[in-house]
Structure 1
Amino acid sequence: MTLEGDTEEEEKRILLQQHQEQIKSENKKHLETFKKIQKNSPLLQHTNYKFLAGIIPQEKKLLTVGISSVHRPRGSDLLSTLQSLFHASSEPELKYITVLVHLSDPDPEWLSQTVANISSLFKQHIEAQKLLVIHGLLNDSLPEDLNNTNHFSSCEALYFRQKADYALLMNFASNLSDYFLMIGDDVHFAPKFVYAIYWALSAWKEIHWVTLEFSSLSFSGKVFHTSDLSHLTLFFFLFPKETHTDLLLSNFGFLLGQRAPIRLIPKLFYSQDNYSTSEDTCNQKEEGKEEEDLGKPNNPPAKINTNMMLRQFHPPENTYILDESYFMTEVATPVNKLILIFNQPLKVIRVQVLTGIGKQALHRVEQGQVKLGYEPIKEKIGCTLYTLLGPLVKGNLDQKVFYKEDFVGAVRCVQLLVTATQESKVCIRKIKI
């Protein structure tokens, strides 16, 4: 029995390693092809823009909040979207962002009225160089077969228009900030969303990522490096009419080496649900991709292993009990870790790691990472293969876990790894699975 078990475990390990190597090879191949295409692309080189309100800020900001808006028969929620944005942002937060609105519809009457409304309602933000409104024209830089869209079906025309609108927006935004947040014109903002994104970006700064997602919406809530925007606009025009925009967005990260979506919880953006009939018909609604109610944590049976210093009244087992207890240790160094080893393979859908005590989060883990393990060590002290789920953001992590259909490993471990020395006491309050 032991020999057969060893053989089975070895086969799993080999299969898992082969899968990892295949992913790396595919990523490299995609990226090389992508860069070759980009070298020969003339797109967006002769794009024309009109400034409708505001001027380009003198200082480069942390984040551009990019909103693309088009005239719809049922009316637009752009004004309420902007009201929600500025209402949710304090004056200190606004110092980090530039709000860029691209009015993409060519109808002069709609443009004039929309600009008048924005200028009236948000005069102080325009004068403070926090809000900029533009209109872009793409025709001069497009191949001949895309200049005339009369031969497109209604859905093809919608897909193309949507990609062109966002491409113009991102092309203009590429030098305004370090990061770009994509937002639709029908979105409600959670309070202090700027600070939430700021702390997430700080935590992820030294880790490779392509897209961070702060909502379950198809378009809104996605953050990119502005240095990647030229790649993304080109990617849109490789599939100008046939493919849904949200499908391209969901695959863009994979193209540049991000293996799975990175979605942080709680979400910061919500849809206001106002769409035209054509958008409904073509399935381009700004809606969540999956059920957001992930249920309460159930913390399946697991063993806890740690090399942190133990205290008699606050043992590490407290982190996994769903009550008010916690684990306290005297000091933490980059070699310290706490590991959950599950009794059986699991499909984990969400992981929460909470550190610190009280509202001030005293004694939180200042720098740490959470990893998922897939190959258990027989002595039940951990796993041999780990993948990064994400870093702690202000001492906490709350993330959705995604699975590729062909991924063969089930989660066997969850590891909290300290990545910087802390001389004071450290509290790991809860790990919720």
Structure 2
Amino acid sequence: MKLFYIQSDDSFAAVLMSICILFNTDTHGGCTGHSRSTDVIEKIRSGIAKKVTYKDYLDRPSSDLTTLQKDWKVEATLFNKVPKEKRFLTLGIPTIRRVGDEYIMDTIKSLVNNTRPEELKDIYIVIFLADFNETWIEDISRRLNDSYQHLISSETLVMIRSWKSFYPSLVNLNHTYNDNYNKRKWRSKQNVDYAFIFLYCQYLSTYYMQMEDDIYTIPNYFDVVKDYISEMRFQWTCLEFSELGFIGKLYHSYDLEKLAKMVLLFYEEQPCDFTYLHFNSQMLQFQRYIHRPTIFQHVGLKSSLPGKIQPLKDTFFDNLDKIYQGDNPPAKLFTNMLVHSSFSPESAYYQEPGYFWSHRNGKAGDWFTVVFDDPQRVEKIIVETGSREHPLDRILHGKLQASLSLVKIDKSEPSCTNNILLGHFKEGFIKVGNLTSVLGPFKIHCVSIILTANQDWWIIIKEIAVFVSD
């Protein structure tokens, strides 16, 4: 193993020592031979670390919190003990007091309501109350405890707090990015907040995802995360489930201490939104892996930085809301198309946000069938395909038919007969009405969508709206 030795000024040597510590390498005069050392050194020579001195590094907050508080995790944990059982995923959410607006309660509600009860056993939701206002901490922790006592008792919902001694001085900060003093102070504290929650969560689960306190998500988001992880056939450092800021960034938990050290090293130079990208490249991930459509949307208007309005929206977050609001009587859904991730057939029919998405190109003869639990007198049917984010994934060649008889249903395919053609899709859309006059007294057992030609794209069925007569 080669030993790299750099003769330079004290400033650069200190930075090199810091990076060696970051990657757990030797610091006695240089770094031991990671193949990436040369790249790291070049990045440091030309990058953001030039102004850092040895004294600067010593003044940084420590990543070894036992020097500040022996049982710091115990002291930081509210309402419960430090979780011991290792789970699959931790969602880390720092939150502070905002003037005039609050989003954290709605954020937790969205995350919990869009997770199946059995999935919650595989998840920790760690809320970091990163404010030193005791009245606010008591109020928000009490309300969370009142609303989610069952999740706190099961250790799924964990609330933590910090103490001022963990934070460095937030005065006389480096003047970077032309930010004013208040913004530099806010972002520097936020960086230290991130590092604290990283260090608390590093042993809780296999994966860690960074969240913000003003987002909402989609149904079955947990399935999307697991499926995207399983799709990766190469080594990765960070997977992203939102294009915005530091929302929905997924890491292996074993990398959290390294990430915390790097964030602390540059806590006053730049926001974590930038630092995590540098960290990824130093871990040899040189491109971003963003799942599209994204699954978390930013909803906060007022930033946690007082006076800042931040109307950011994720352009890759698809519109999953239903707009036609059909009666949609109880039914079972069937298709011979391969289902993509968690975009199930039921997602096209039920009123909750979501849609069906196939996982291969549409083929002539592909079908999607709604089988009513009880035959229905139907007045109108609307089917919309494609989406805002994927407009080409629509049905260009297809027909809609109704079946007056149902012979049988096996595990994967219904046998519907006495079929009546209702119409053909035009530009991914079909609407047929006045069906009671067309069908007379007959009731419909099945409604089927059938592709009549091959297509070059996957298929999204965004909404099926069935309106029944009185």
Question: Which TM class, normalised by the smaller chain length?
Answer: 0.5 to 0.7
User: 1:356 maps to which residue?
Assistant: none
CA displacement, residues 272-320 of structure 1 (integer Å, 9 cap, x when unaligned): 1232473665x9x583576778xxxxxxxxxxxxxxxxxxxxxxxxx9x
User: How far apart, in 1, do the equivalents of 2:112 and 2:303 lie?
Assistant: 26
Q: 1:251 to 1:125 in 2, by over 3 A?
A: same
Matched, 1:92 2:118: yes
CA displacement, residues 207-259 of structure 1 (integer Å, 9 cap, x when unaligned): 21111001122111110011111111111122222312211123321121012
1:30 positional shift: 4.3
1:59 positional shift: 1.6
Q: 1:192 to 1:239 in 2, by over 3 A?
A: same
Q: Is the 8 A contact 1:218 1:287 kept in 2?
A: no
Q: 1:114 to 1:174 in 2, by over 3 A?
A: same
User: How far apart, in 1, do the equivalents of 2:85 and 2:455 lie?
Assistant: 40
Q: 1:280 to 1:217 in 2, by over 3 A?
A: farther
Matched, 1:151 2:172: yes
User: How far apart, in 1, do the equivalents of 2:201 and 2:292 lie?
Assistant: 26
User: 1:169 maps to which residue?
Assistant: 197
* Aligned mate of 2:245, from 218, 226, 238: 218
Matched, 1:229 2:244: no
User: 2:64 maps to which residue?
Assistant: 45
User: How far apart, in 2, do the equivalents of 1:90 and 1:292 lie?
Assistant: 21
Matched, 1:135 2:161: yes
User: How far apart, in 1, do the equivalents of 2:131 and 2:124 lie?
Assistant: 22
1:304-383 equivalences in 2 (<5 Å) = 324-325=363-364
Q: Secondary structure of 1:247's partner?
A: helix
Q: Secondary structure of 2:172's partner?
A: coil
Normalising by structure 2, what TM-score?
0.53
In the alignment, residue 120 of structure 1 is paired with which amino acid? D
Q: 1:100 to 1:93 in 2, by over 3 A?
A: same
Unaligned 5+ runs, structure 1: 1-24, 294-318, 328-348, 354-361, 363-427
User: 1:67 maps to which residue?
Assistant: 93
User: How far apart, in 2, do the equivalents of 1:280 and 1:181 lie?
Assistant: 28
Structure of higher RCO (CA pairs closer than 8 Å, 6+ residues apart) = 1
1:200 positional shift: 1.7
1:326 positional shift: 9.2
Q: 1:118 to 1:272 in 2, by over 3 A?
A: same
Matched, 1:287 2:296: no
* Aligned mate of 1:29, from 18, 21, 38: 38
In the alignment, residue 292 of structure 2 is paired with which amino acid? I
User: 1:116 maps to which residue?
Assistant: 142
User: 1:416 maps to which residue?
Assistant: none
Q: Is the 8 A contact 1:326 1:429 kept in 2?
A: no
In the alignment, residue 190 of structure 1 is paired with which amino acid? I
User: 2:210 maps to which residue?
Assistant: 182
CA displacement, residues 156-197 of structure 1 (integer Å, 9 cap, x when unaligned): 101111111111111100000010011101110111111111
1:267 positional shift: 1.1
Q: Secondary structure of 2:222's partner?
A: helix
RMSD of the alignment, in Å? 3.9
User: How far apart, in 1, do the equivalents of 2:62 and 2:311 lie?
Assistant: 27
1:82 positional shift: 0.6
1:28 positional shift: 4.4
User: 2:219 maps to which residue?
Assistant: 191
Q: 1:234 to 1:30 in 2, by over 3 A?
A: farther
Q: 1:27 to 1:111 in 2, by over 3 A?
A: same
Q: 1:33 to 1:54 in 2, by over 3 A?
A: farther
Q: Secondary structure of 1:224's partner?
A: strand
- The farther-off stretch of 98-107 and 47-56 is 47-56
User: How far apart, in 1, do the equivalents of 2:106 and 2:143 lie?
Assistant: 11
In the alignment, residue 44 of structure 1 is paired with which amino acid? S
Matched, 1:56 2:75: no
* Aligned mate of 1:273, from 297, 300, 309: 300
Q: Secondary structure of 2:88's partner?
A: strand
User: How far apart, in 2, do the equivalents of 1:76 and 1:429 lie?
Assistant: 46
Q: 1:169 to 1:138 in 2, by over 3 A?
A: farther
Higher Cα Rg, which structure:
2
Q: Is the 8 A contact 1:180 1:223 kept in 2?
A: yes
Q: Is the 8 A contact 1:138 1:164 kept in 2?
A: no
User: 1:203 maps to which residue?
Assistant: 231
User: 1:401 maps to which residue?
Assistant: none
1:100-111 equivalences in 2 (<5 Å) = 100-111=126-137
User: How far apart, in 2, do the equivalents of 1:186 and 1:170 lie?
Assistant: 19
User: How far apart, in 1, do the equivalents of 2:264 and 2:39 lie?
Assistant: 16
In the alignment, residue 212 of structure 1 is paired with which amino acid? L
Q: 1:292 to 1:59 in 2, by over 3 A?
A: closer
User: How far apart, in 2, do the equivalents of 1:280 and 1:252 lie?
Assistant: 30
User: 2:266 maps to which residue?
Assistant: 239
Matched, 1:260 2:287: yes
Q: Is the 8 A contact 2:86 2:205 kept in 1?
A: yes
Q: 1:73 to 1:132 in 2, by over 3 A?
A: same
Count the aligned residue pairs. Answer: 281
In the alignment, residue 191 of structure 2 is paired with which amino acid? K
User: How far apart, in 2, do the equivalents of 1:50 and 1:188 lie?
Assistant: 27
1:295-310 equivalences in 2 (<5 Å) = none
